[in-house]
Amino acid sequence: MTSMSLNMVYAVRATQEADVYNIRCNITDYLGASYDTDYCSRPDDTVGVNPLIRQWLLDNPGFQIEPYIPPDPPTEDELRQRMPSLTARQFRLGLVNADISPSTVTAAIAGMPVGSDQDKAQIEWEYATTFNRLHPLIGTVGTALGLSDTQIDALWVAAAAL
């Protein structure tokens, strides 16, 4: 077993936390393997290669530290992708709490053009054990009920808490 070494530092980027940095570097680990890696260095971390990184930072005060750039806020679609699945119970109770009767959903599906899309929607509605926010059935039925995406999102969030 060999000791760890910090072979090269390629980049240092600040984080949103004071004195915490993301380091792009090349290290040699305890097993003697050398490789490029990303490392999050915290001032109070005394384990692994971090003491070497902290010393390197002290020894190289002129090395350019890239500023922290906050990530772009998520889009509405990204937020919807992150919404949890709802159980059939949560979904149906969420509808009822929003003053939408399950029979209204059944009627909206029955009002779709006859064919495989209607059949699939009916099967999903009757037999699905979970519902995903971005499943096509949710948008189709929501539109048929006159609900906007924002209204469906609010219903979804409320139902997830049930």
DSSP 74: P
Cα–Cα distance for residue pair 25/40, rounded to 1 Å? 11
- CA-CA distance, 122 to 45, in Å (whole number)? 56
What is the number of other CB atoms lying within 10 angstroms of the CB of residue 3? 10
> What's the confidence (pLDDT) of residue 1?
60
Give 84-118 pLDDT, tens digit per residue. 999 999 999 999 999 999 999 999 999 999 999 99
Task: Kindly list the domain boundaries of the chain, sorted by start residue.
Answer: 5-66, 76-160
> Is 39 in contact with 53 (CB distance < 8 Å)?
yes
pLDDT at residue 97 in the model: 96
pLDDT in single tens digits along all 162 residues of the chain: 678 999 999 999 999 999 999 999 999 998 999 999 999 999 999 999 999 999 999 999 999 999 999 999 999 999 999 999 999 999 999 999 999 999 999 999 999 999 999 999 999 999 999 999 999 999 989 998 999 999 999 999 999 999
